[in-house]
Amino acid sequence: MNKTRFTRLTLFFAASVWWNAAPAQKAAERPRTEQPLPNILLISADDLGWSDIGCYGSEVQTPNLDELARQGVRFTQFHNTSKSYPSRSCLLTGLYAQQNGYFKDARGPLENSVTLGEYLKTAGYTTLWSGKHHGAENPRTRGFDHFYGLRDGACNYFNPGCQRDGEGVPAQKVKNRFWCVEKQTYAPFTPKEKDFYTTDYFTNYALEWLDEYAGSEKPFFLYLAYNAPHDPLMAWPEDIAKYEGKYRDGYEAVRRARYEKQRSMGLIDDRYRLSEATFRKWESLSDEERAVEERKMAVYAAMIDRMDQNIGRVICKLKEQGKFDDTLIIFVSDNGASAEVVELKDSYGEIGSMTCWTSLGPDWANVANTPLRYFKNYSYQGGISAPMIAAWPNGLRNPGRLSDFTGHFIDIMATFVDLAGAPYPEEYKGRRIVPYEGVSLLPVIRDEKPVREKPLFWEWQHGRAVRDGKWKLVKHGSDAPWSLFDMEVDPSETRDLAASHPETVTRMNAMFEAWKKRVSITKAHPHLKKNL
């Protein structure tokens, strides 16, 4: 090997080591803060579109989230992975799904990583998780002091299990969904309580734990992971009633109203053009079809409304306990609104009821992601954009702000490491740990100038994308050509610049291929390979 080649290889490997080791080294070198650690409340929604809450343009009543936005900061360029379990694994570990083993399925343990619960326990937190975990492990084995909820992808909201006396058969896509109550796992899980509704009961358990630890001197981390508004579309009748008649004018009218509201509130500006509509013409539907579509959207809105009501219950509890002002609250969604449609032969009854499994469908999903392009499972903005709110009365400066910082779910771990100050481990209980990938969002929260030096990457199913500064390279389908967008002037991806910037396409394609090689746990960590 000649000297020049040897030198290049040496520099390459040194850069690789720096890339992977730098975050952990910075965490280890940072002194622990002298101030008391704040509490942390992380709230995630499921299949919630970018424009589905009031402070992001919706007509749905979400006063509690809207108030958090007024007291906090809203992100306009925050991203997930476009699919539930890869997104949630990124959120939990600070790693891409390709690194933690959740790239193609969620049937094995999270690899190469510590979870938020495991890390925050080392920093002295009480760790609580209520809601959905789309994964194979009971969170009690991964650093959480308490867990209650769905350990699966989706379930019936009123009864995740078997038929109960005096009731109809609950609509189920999969009969034996996994459910955990602390250390016990059930499949199926049939609740005894007749007032059971997942959103309400996830909150009930969270409130019980907050009461249990009310007098503790330790800070808490509560992960409240709602499954709303993922299908099946099911909601309480009193919530549905609020939205009866609101959607009789159809897709275009609702989308246009949301777009105008987004503009009037300053969430978006003239750079955000309405992406090409993919929904059907409302007038082309029959009266019966329109009635079904109206009902679907009313139930979907009711589910979001109910989620906001329950978030309000948690906020009230924190205020009663005098902990609200020193609690960092983050709200996100795991992917864009879903165009997926599930049709069950044994589903019956009224849309919104326990016996009827109904999906939102592609037409309303297009509306839910206003003004962005496409929806869940796509790497275009409609699939990967998350409404993201951060609020923290004692730690956030200049409330009511908007931030266009380009963020990603992998940044949550980095933020909590920055906040807690405990060293990030190289090993944990005999497991080798890959350093987290993200950057801290605390500078955004403190209204400082954050820096994202490294590009971001996406790969899920048929979608692929790279974001490097103002440029985004994206496609859907391995054989499809790349599209290129200047996100500074066209954040809703309406003008493809690939033909006029071929050198940028080539450069970013090379970046994507290099990233794929770097994050492959098969090649980088063969002794840890188990599930891909």
DSSP string, 54-120: GGGT-SS--HHHHHHHHHEEEESSEE--SSHHHHHHHHHHSS-HHHHT-SS-SSSPPPS---HHHHH
* Mean pLDDT value of segment 500-528: 82
Distance (Å, rounded) from C-alpha 245 to C-alpha 291?
Answer: 10
Distance (Å, rounded) from C-alpha 86 to C-alpha 100? Answer: 9
Specify whether the CB–CB gap between 246 and 59 falls below 8 A: yes
Q: How many CB atoms lie within 10 A of CB 21?
A: 13
Percent of the chain with pLDDT over 70: 91
- pLDDT tens digits along 405-429: 999 999 999 999 999 999 999 999 9
Q: Residue 449: what pLDDT?
A: 85
- Domain 40-450, CATH: 3.40.720.10
Write the DSSP symbol of residue 467: E
282 has a pLDDT exceeding 70 = yes
Lowest pLDDT segment from 25-34, 283-292, 480-489: 25-34
419-462 pLDDT tens trace: 999 999 999 999 999 999 999 999 999 999 888 999 999 999 99
pTM metric for this prediction: 0.93
Please state which of the ranges 19-33, 130-144, 438-452 shows the lowest mean pLDDT: 19-33
**pLDDT tens column, 239-270:** 999 999 999 999 999 999 999 999 999 999 99
Confidence label for 8 from pLDDT (cuts 50, 70 and 90): very low
Segment 361-389 shows an average pLDDT of 98
φ, ψ at 459 (rounded to 5°):
-155, 110
Average pLDDT on 150-170 reads 97
Distant-in-sequence, close-in-space partners of 40: CB < 8 Å, separation ≥ 6: 120, 125, 219, 220, 221, 222, 327, 328, 330, 416, 419
**pLDDT tens per residue, range 313-357:** 999 999 999 999 999 999 999 999 999 999 999 999 999 999 999
Assign 417 to helix, strand or coil.
helix
Mean pLDDT, the chain, integer: 92
Please, which pLDDT band fits residue 520 given cuts at 50, 70 and 90?
confident
Per-residue pLDDT of 194-216, as tens digits, reads: 999 999 999 999 999 999 999 99
Cis peptide before 371 (omega within 30 of 0): yes
Q: Is residue 47 predicted with pLDDT exceeding 50?
A: yes
Q: Is 104 exposed, middle or buried (0-12, 13-18, 19+ CB in 10 A)?
A: middle
Query: Cα 466 to chain center, whole Å?
Result: 19
pLDDT of 484 strictly over 50: yes
pLDDT at 35: 78
CA atoms within 13 A on the CB side of 295: 17
d(CA 69, CA 47) in angstroms, rounded, equals: 20
Q: Is the pLDDT of residue 25 over 50?
A: no
In the chain, domain spans: 40-450
pLDDT value of position 27: 42
146-160: average pLDDT: 98
